[in-house]
């Protein structure tokens, strides 16, 4: 790629915006359809009270995400992401968490990848070109900002009525001490260090959740043991072919029903969305050892501010992208068609897999192969505020070991907010099941998942 003066300018400007954005974070072979087990009807234990405040996500069924993160299933490798990231005729460009190879599945990855795609467009575009960006998540916002800073006429099309994509803050001062985050808000140590590399001062905007504990029916239990996963992955990486992590564990003699191992796998799934029965052991998803950093505040509002002078069309799903050597034409859900010189598509891989956007002509085989090869992971979250704490621990990360909890990862925000707020995280198949529950059943399942933390009722005799 040749570096023009404008490229350099954009690179510099984007650095600043990228830092800010980063600081705010922390079909050849269709995927097989899994047989779903019936969702059990949960009952809540009396010791866990009904919450006074309650919010939950449902990304699995959201038609503009159909999932939470991308990951590599067994048999796929990181070149799938690179293949998807290649531009088509220098007219259609792809960006987002799925096309980043360094930190895929994260906000930092999405932002970095948007910078990559924007620089690629700028290196080929004339000054007066009209550019379109599809999707106003972290990647789309940063791309639109960069391209506008480079002097292009940019229009950002967003299917939903709001900006942010898989970042979703609910600002409600009256109900909640901090805005509940229904999407991304956690950073691993690694992500945090990468922000430090970029001279970002996270300052007062993060909380550190660094006291992990494990709980079973008898109370606090020994912590999670990730060793079986690490050992199985290491052995699997010496094999002739890739195998899913769960298979690699069984081949290594691990008991998948062991409560401590099940809890470790649940933590992996809750943070990465990856299903152990599908995720590659050659390229396993990275998940934090223990501590995570939560970015607090109105993240959607922050993203919106980046777009103050950009033309943004919300509630404008793009249904079709036609392209040739001369340009692109976008058709909106309303039937309206608009012409541009080039487009960056940031729609999630779940949307591309379900052909939420039609391409004309069809994308090259390498792109379609890459879209089919990546897996769409699932993470759902619940935020619960109680009138008073029913737990007695100050630990900030709780893992449920044993029992039949649907949500096995809990974050205790009371030490930071002074209010009894718990955040549940559930991943992979359990997240898909959780997303299907009615509001009432989801609340019961969440309460049932907390039974090990409830103080036993005082003896009245």
For residue 30, give the DSSP letter.
Answer: P
Please tell me whether residue 379 binds ligand FAD under the rule CB under 6 A: yes
Please tell me whether residue 155 binds ligand FAD under the rule CB under 6 A: no
Distance CA 404, CA 282 (A): 30
Q: In the window 83-112, what residues touch ligand FAD (CB under 6 A)? A: 96-97, 105-108, 110
- Minimum separation from the CB atom of position 461 to ligand FAD (A): 45
The number of angstroms, rounded, from the C-alpha of 109 to the middle of its chain's C-alpha atoms is 10
- Give the one residue of 157, 215, 323, 386 binding ligand FAD; rule: CB under 6 A: 157
Task: Pick the piece of the chain touching ligand FAD (CB under 6 A) from 1-9, 129-137, 397-405, 440-448.
Answer: 129-137
Burial status of residue 282 (CB atoms within 10 A of its CB: 0-12, 13-18, 19 or more): middle
Distance CA 307, CA 114 (A): 15
Q: Within 10 A of 337 (CB to CB), how many other CB atoms are there?
A: 11
Q: In the window 37-76, what residues touch ligand FAD (CB under 6 A)? A: 57, 59, 64-65, 68-69
| Closer CB to ligand FAD, 69 or 353, in the complex | 69
- Minimum separation from the CB atom of position 17 to ligand FAD (A): 14
* Residues facing residue 398 across a β-bridge: 213, 410
Edge-first strand listing for the sheet containing 337-340 = 337-340, 327-332, 318-324, 358-360
* Residues facing residue 330 across a β-bridge: 321, 338
Distance CA 401, CA 220 (A): 10
Please tell me whether residue 449 binds ligand FAD under the rule CB under 6 A: no
Element (H, E) at 370: helix 365-373
Interface pattern 176-215 for ligand FAD (x via CB under 6 A): -------xxxx-----------------------------
Please tell me whether residue 147 binds ligand FAD under the rule CB under 6 A: no
| Closer CB to ligand FAD, 186 or 266, in the complex | 186
Size of the site for ligand FAD (CB under 6 A): 43
| Residue from 297, 24, 13, 325 nearest 144 by CA | 13
The number of angstroms, rounded, from the C-alpha of 298 to the middle of its chain's C-alpha atoms is 17
| Closer CB to ligand FAD, 206 or 281, in the complex | 206
Planar angle of CA 436, 440, 441, nearest 5 degrees = 50
- Minimum separation from the CB atom of position 191 to ligand FAD (A): 6
- Minimum separation from the CB atom of position 62 to ligand FAD (A): 8
Distance CA 411, CA 362 (A): 44
Q: In the window 20-39, what residues touch ligand FAD (CB under 6 A)? A: 25-26
Please report where in the chains the tokens 């003896």 appear, as a residue: 459
Distance CA 331, CA 320 (A): 5
| Closer CB to ligand FAD, 74 or 84, in the complex | 84
| Closer CB to ligand FAD, 383 or 453, in the complex | 383
- Give the one residue of 84, 136, 248, 269 binding ligand FAD; rule: CB under 6 A: 136
Please tell me whether residue 169 binds ligand FAD under the rule CB under 6 A: no
Q: In the window 337-376, what residues touch ligand FAD (CB under 6 A)? A: 346-348, 351, 356-357
- Minimum separation from the CB atom of position 396 to ligand FAD (A): 15
- Minimum separation from the CB atom of position 235 to ligand FAD (A): 29
For residue 205, give the DSSP letter.
Answer: G
Contact (CB, 8 A) for 381 and 185? no
Q: Which whole-number Å values give the CA distances from 279 to 19, 242, 269, 413, in the listed order?
A: 31, 10, 10, 30
- Give the one residue of 138, 178, 299, 372 binding ligand FAD; rule: CB under 6 A: 138
Distance CA 233, CA 227 (A): 10
- Give the one residue of 167, 401, 428, 437 binding ligand FAD; rule: CB under 6 A: 167
Q: Within 10 A of 302 (CB to CB), how many other CB atoms are there?
A: 21
- Minimum separation from the CB atom of position 250 to ligand FAD (A): 28
List interacting residues with ligand FAD (CB under 6 A).
25-26, 57, 59, 64-65, 68-69, 96-97, 105-108, 110, 134-140, 157-160, 165-167, 183-186, 317-318, 346-348, 351, 356-357, 379, 381
């Amino acid at each position: 790629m040749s570096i023009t003066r404008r490229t350099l300018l954009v690179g510099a400007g984007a650095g600043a915006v990228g830092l800010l954005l980063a600081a705010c974070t922390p079909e050849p072979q269709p995927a097989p359809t899994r047989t779903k087990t019936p969702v059990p009807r949960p009952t809540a234990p009396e010791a866990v009270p009904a919450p006074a405040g309650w919010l939950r996500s449902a990304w699995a069924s959201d038609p503009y995400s159909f999932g939470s993160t991308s990951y590599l299933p067994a048999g796929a490798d990181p070149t799938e992401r690179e293949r998807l990231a290649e531009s088509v005729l220098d007219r259609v460009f792809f960006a987002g968490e799925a096309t980043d190879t360094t930190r895929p599945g994260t906000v930092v990855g999405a932002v970095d990848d948007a910078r990559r795609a924007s620089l690629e467009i700028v290196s080929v575009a004339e000054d007066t070109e009209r550019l379109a960006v599809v999707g106003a998540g972290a990647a789309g916002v940063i791309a639109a900002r960069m391209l506008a800073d480079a002097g292009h006429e940019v229009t950002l099309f967003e299917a939903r009525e709001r900006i942010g994509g898989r970042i979703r803050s609910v600002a409600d001062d009256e109900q909640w001490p901090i805005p509940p985050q229904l999407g991304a808000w956690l950073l691993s140590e690694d992500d945090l260090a990468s922000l430090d590399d970029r001279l970002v001062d996270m300052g007062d905007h993060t909380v550190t959740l660094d006291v992990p504990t494990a709980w079973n029916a008898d109370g606090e239990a020994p912590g999670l043991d990730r060793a079986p996963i690490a050992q199985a992955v290491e052995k699997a990486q010496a094999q002739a072919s890739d195998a899913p992590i769960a298979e690699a564990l069984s081949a290594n003699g691990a008991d998948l029903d062991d409560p401590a191992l099940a809890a470790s796998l649940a933590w992996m799934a809750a943070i990465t969305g990856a299903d152990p029965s599908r995720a590659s052991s050659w390229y396993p998803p990275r998940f934090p050892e223990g501590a995570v950093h939560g970015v607090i505040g109105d993240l959607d509002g922050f993203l919106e501010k980046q777009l103050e002078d950009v033309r943004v069309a919300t509630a404008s799903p793009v249904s079709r992208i036609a392209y040739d050597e001369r340009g692109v034409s976008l058709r909106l859900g309303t039937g309206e068609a608009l012409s541009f010189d080039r487009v960056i598509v940031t729609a999630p891989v779940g949307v591309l897999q379900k052909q939420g956007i039609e391409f004309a002509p069809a994308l090259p085989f390498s792109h379609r192969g890459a879209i089919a090869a990546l897996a769409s992971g699932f993470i759902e979250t619940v935020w619960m505020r109680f009138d008073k704490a029913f737990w007695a621990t100050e630990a900030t990360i709780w893992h449920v070991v044993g029992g039949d909890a649907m949500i096995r990862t809990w974050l205790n925000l009371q030490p930071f907010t002074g209010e009894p707020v718990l955040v549940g995280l559930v991943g992979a198949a359990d997240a898909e099941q959780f997303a299907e529950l009615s509001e009432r059943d989801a609340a019961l399942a969440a309460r049932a998942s907390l039974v090990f933390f409830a103080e036993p009722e005082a003896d009245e005799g």
